[in-house]
Amino acid sequence: MRGNSKASHNEVGAMPALTQVPTTVTLSAEQFEKLYLSPMMHRQPTLAKNLGNPTPLGIGAFVLTATPLACCLMSWRGAGGGGAAFTGVLVLFGGLLLVLSCILEFILGNTFSSVVFGHLGAFCLAFGASMTPAFNSAAPYSPDGTDTLAGLHSPGFVNTFAFFFLFMALLMLIYSVCATRTNLVFVLIFASLILVFSLLAAAYWKLGLEDAVMGNRLTVGAGAALFVATMLGFYLLTAQLLDSVGFPLSLPIGDLSGAWNRSRRQ
């Protein structure tokens, strides 16, 4: 019995010593704004120290939905149909994950990123729903009142839906101004999206006038601008994920948190 007791004691003594591992990490203002894409107006929220960061989820949902749509708008590899092939992607991938990211950002108290993800997610859901026959949004514009595909290309539908793109461009303008409190890459993404929605509105109005040549050119231009926005989004996503795993390489994103001389509330 004594031998067994001694062996057990030696085994315990051979175990590595316990070390204290920090369970929370306090971020600097620059790190917080890079990871959450929201100005750090107060001290780092308690929930942000204990919960995961949903911002890369929203950025990833945006780029993986918008990039193939951009290729479609530019008619690469014979793609077309105005993005109708991506109806499921818009609703079940982009819309779903962006709205989920919006809710999680809201819980963490990140107002700006919550609003951005919420509006982009709702746009994906609305755009996908407009191309879904069950919602009957385009069919009434068709000659027989029942053909969704014909309705999507009718002058009445495109002239009407163009206003949605126009005011989305206005919303992106507001976002781009607010993003000057975060980083340069985020500002450039919104600047590209302003061009995307403006060109789409112009394209729809040209198509409504049955000017297919100019309408298609404007659509291709919108696709090119969207492709630029998504490449910037992929860069921002990579920068955030590298920082989230403590990778030794940190990609610069052009921190703008000090661009405006506004004192932070404690």
Of the two residues 26 and 67, the one the predictor is more confident about is 67
Residues 6+ apart with CB under 8 A from 6: none
Asked if residue 33 belongs to a domain, the reply is no
Q: What is the pLDDT at residue 236?
A: 93
Q: What is the pLDDT at residue 21?
A: 47
Contact predicate 183/33, CB 8 Å: yes
Asked if residue 146 belongs to a domain, the reply is yes
pLDDT single digits (tens) 74-117: 989 888 777 778 888 889 999 999 999 999 999 888 889 999 99
- The DSSP code for 110 is -
pLDDT single digits (tens) 118-168: 999 999 999 998 888 888 888 888 888 888 888 888 888 899 999 999 999
Asked if residue 265 belongs to a domain, the reply is no
Q: What is the pLDDT at residue 264?
A: 47
Phi, psi of 54, deg, nearest 5: -85, -5
- In this prediction the pTM is 0.79
Asked if residue 237 belongs to a domain, the reply is yes
Asked if residue 159 belongs to a domain, the reply is yes
Q: What is the pLDDT at residue 15?
A: 53
| Residue 197 CA from chain centroid, whole number | 15
Q: What is the pLDDT at residue 35?
A: 52
Instruction: State the average pLDDT over residues 227-255.
Output: 90
| Residue 11: burial class (beta carbons within 10 Å; 0-12, 13-18, 19+) | exposed
In whole angstroms, give the CA distance from residue 76 to residue 81.
12
Of the two residues 180 and 261, the one the predictor is more confident about is 180
Tokens of 150: 């014909």
Q: What is the DSSP string of 189-251?
A: HHHHHHHHHHHHHHHHHHHHTT-HHHHHHHHHHHHHHHHHHHHHHHHHHHHHHHHHTT-S---
Contact predicate 250/29, CB 8 Å: no
Name the 3-class secondary structure at 258: coil
pLDDT single digits (tens) 198-223: 999 999 999 999 899 999 999 999 99
Q: What is the pLDDT at residue 227?
A: 97
How many residues can be counted in the chain? Answer: 266
Cα within 13 Å of Cα(196), Cβ side: 23
pLDDT single digits (tens) 45-83: 555 556 778 889 999 999 999 999 999 999 898 887 777
Phi, psi of 199, deg, nearest 5: -70, -35
Asked if residue 264 belongs to a domain, the reply is no
Angle, in degrees to the nearest 10, between helices 155-178 and 184-208? 160
Asked if residue 66 belongs to a domain, the reply is yes
Q: What is the pLDDT at residue 16?
A: 56
Q: What is the pLDDT at residue 164?
A: 94
Assess whether pLDDT exceeds 80 at residue 24.
Answer: no
Asked if residue 255 belongs to a domain, the reply is no
For the chain, what is the domain count?
A: 1
**Percent above pLDDT 90 for the chain:** 45
Dmax (CA) of the chain: 97
Tokens of 8: 């057990």
Q: What is the pLDDT at residue 233?
A: 95
Instruction: Give the range of the structural domain holding residue 72, as residue numbers without chain letter.
Output: 51-244
Assess whether pLDDT exceeds 70 at residue 39.
Answer: no
Contact predicate 122/79, CB 8 Å: no
